[in-house]
């Protein structure tokens, strides 16, 4: 009798505690979400508002002076579509390759039987901490024939120590019985990887896929140095260049032309308006693709297989 009462009391107390935690969480996360969304909302309304008002910080909560010129101008950038295709290609190929390699190496580095396992693991991880400098990197790429070459975007980023570490840690958290069972059944190293491991490490692979994809999508430093052929420009590079040109155009115009900039301010491009428009253009595809990967974070993907 007493025990039941005690349990009930404890349950109520816990129920209360759980509700508090819930409420607290909702408040905090809503605040955090707001703080994260508002800047993006701000960017969005500013790209649709008159540029001079935007530059003076007057557009805070709603659109003022609606116009689409910013987007029209960006979409009219020559070579935009080609560079978009290149970016998509490098993101898809580069990220896929990075993910597979990270998963494979992450798995291989947990295999006790690997020859000099520790040595090679350290060999790979240490590369995160040093950097040889721009000149030798450029010369190396040149000697390998990777300048003005699409694969120059892929190969240097293919083996990424950070993702390998993530994978290895994840694999280590999977009960060893799984591998052992397969081994007893006579499966070789590779078979274990493809048939047993891959299905099970989906969450971490999805994570790495997103990270690697975003890394590829956003990178343009390599384009700056390696590529002079416009056909290989990436989206980020084309947009970065557009930003650069627009600022100097203003100076050029006011120096050489009698028309004043003052006359068409609402739609005249400023560096900030361009950056904002570019951000929206670059981020929207990511935000659209992201939910696809989110579903890999569903709870309970995990193995009941071991116990069974």
In whole angstroms, the minimum distance from the beta carbon of 135 to other proteins comes to 5
Nearer to other proteins, 66 or 92 (CB): 92
Examine residue 31 and tell whether it contacts other proteins (CB under 8 A): no
Q: How far is the CB of 152 from other proteins (least distance, A)?
A: 9
Q: Cβ 100 to other proteins, closest distance in Å?
A: 7
Position among 74, 166, 192, 212 found at the interface with other proteins (CB under 8 A): 166
Residues within window 113-152 making contact with other proteins, judged by CB under 8 A: 113-116, 118, 120-140, 142-145, 147-151
CA dist 206 → 9, 157, 269 (Å): 43, 17, 39
**How far is CA 27 from each of CA 122, 218, 247, rounded to the nearest angstrom?**
44, 33, 43
- Is 1 or 257 the residue whose CB approaches other proteins more closely? 257
Residues 180-239 binding other proteins (CB under 8 A) are 189-190, 194-195, 198-199, 202-207, 210-211, 214, 218, 224-225, 228-233
Q: Is 25 in the site for other proteins (CB under 8 A)?
A: yes
Closer residue to other proteins (CB): 169 or 180: 169
Q: Which of 26, 177, 180, 185 binds other proteins (CB under 8 A)?
A: 26
Nearer to other proteins (CB atom), residue 66 or residue 251 = 251
User: Within 10 Å of residue 241's Cβ, how many Cβ atoms?
Assistant: 17
* 140 versus 180: smaller Cβ distance to other proteins: 140
- 45, 74, 99, 235: residue in contact with other proteins (rule CB under 8 A): 99
72 makes contact with other proteins (CB under 8 A):
no
259: contact with other proteins by CB under 8 A = yes
When asked if residue 65 is in the footprint of other proteins (CB under 8 A), the reply is no
Q: Which is nearer to other proteins, 1 or 255 (CB)?
A: 255
Provide the token pair at 179.
């591998």
The SS3 assignment for 237 reads helix
- Identify the sign of the CA torsion 36, 42, 44, 45: positive
Binding of residue 261 to other proteins (CB under 8 A): yes
* Residue numbers 268-287 binding other proteins by CB under 8 A: 268, 270-272, 275-276, 279, 282-283, 286-287
Closest distance of CB 287 from other proteins, Å: 7
> Which is closer to other proteins, CB of 17 or CB of 66?
17
Size of the site for other proteins (CB under 8 A): 162
Q: Specify the residue, 180 or 195, whose C-beta has the smaller distance to other proteins.
A: 195
For the bound state, the minimum distance from the C-beta of residue 70 to other proteins, rounded and expressed in Å, comes to 14
Got the DSSP string for the chain? Answer: -HHHHHHHHHHHHHHHHHHHHHHHHHHHHHHHHHHHHHHHHHHHHHHHS-HHHHHTT--SSS-SS---HHHHHHHT-TTHHHHHHHHHHHHHHHHHHHHHHHHHHHHHTT-TTSTTHHHHHHHHHHGGG----HHHHHHHHHHTT-TT-GGGGTHHHHS-HHHHHHHHHHHHTS-THHHHHHHHTT--HHHIIIIIIHHHTHHHHHHHHHHHHHHHHH--HHHHHH---GGG--HHHHHHHHHHHHHHHHHHHHHH-SS-GGGGTTTS--HHHHHHHHHHHHHHHHHHHHHHHHGGG-TT-S-STTT-
């Amino acid at each position: 009798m007493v025990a039941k009462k005690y349990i009930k009391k404890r349950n109520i107390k816990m129920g209360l505690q759980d509700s508090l935690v819930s409420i607290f969480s909702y408040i905090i996360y809503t605040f955090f979400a707001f703080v994260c969304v508002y800047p993006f909302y701000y960017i969005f309304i500013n790209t649709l508002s008159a540029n001079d008002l935007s530059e003076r910080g007057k557009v805070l909560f709603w659109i003022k002076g609606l116009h689409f010129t910013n987007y029209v101008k960006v979409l009219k950038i020559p070579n935009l579509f080609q560079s978009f295709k290149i970016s998509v290609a490098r993101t898809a190929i580069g990220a896929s390759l990075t993910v597979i390699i990270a998963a494979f190496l992450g798995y291989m580095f947990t295999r006790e039987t690997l020859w000099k396992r520790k040595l090679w693991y350290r060999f790979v991880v240490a590369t995160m901490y040093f950097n040889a400098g721009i000149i030798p990197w450029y010369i190396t790429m040149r000697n390998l024939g990777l300048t003005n070459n699409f694969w120059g975007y892929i190969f240097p980023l293919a083996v990424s120590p950070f993702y390998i570490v993530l994978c290895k840690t994840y694999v280590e958290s999977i009960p060893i019985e799984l591998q052992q069972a397969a081994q007893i059944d006579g499966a070789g190293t590779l078979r274990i990887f493809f048939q047993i491991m891959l299905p099970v490490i989906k969450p971490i692979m999805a994570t790495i896929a997103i990270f690697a994809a975003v890394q590829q999508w956003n990178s343009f430093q390599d384009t700056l140095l390696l590529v002079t052929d416009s056909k290989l420009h990436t989206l980020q590079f084309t947009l970065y260049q557009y930003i650069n040109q627009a600022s100097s155009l203003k100076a050029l115009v006011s120096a050489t032309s009698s028309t004043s900039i003052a006359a068409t301010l609402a739609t005249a491009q400023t560096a900030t308006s361009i950056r904002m428009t570019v951000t929206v253009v670059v981020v929207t595809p990511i935000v659209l693709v992201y939910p696809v990967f989110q579903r890999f974070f569903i709870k309970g993907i995990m193995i009941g297989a071991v116990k069974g």
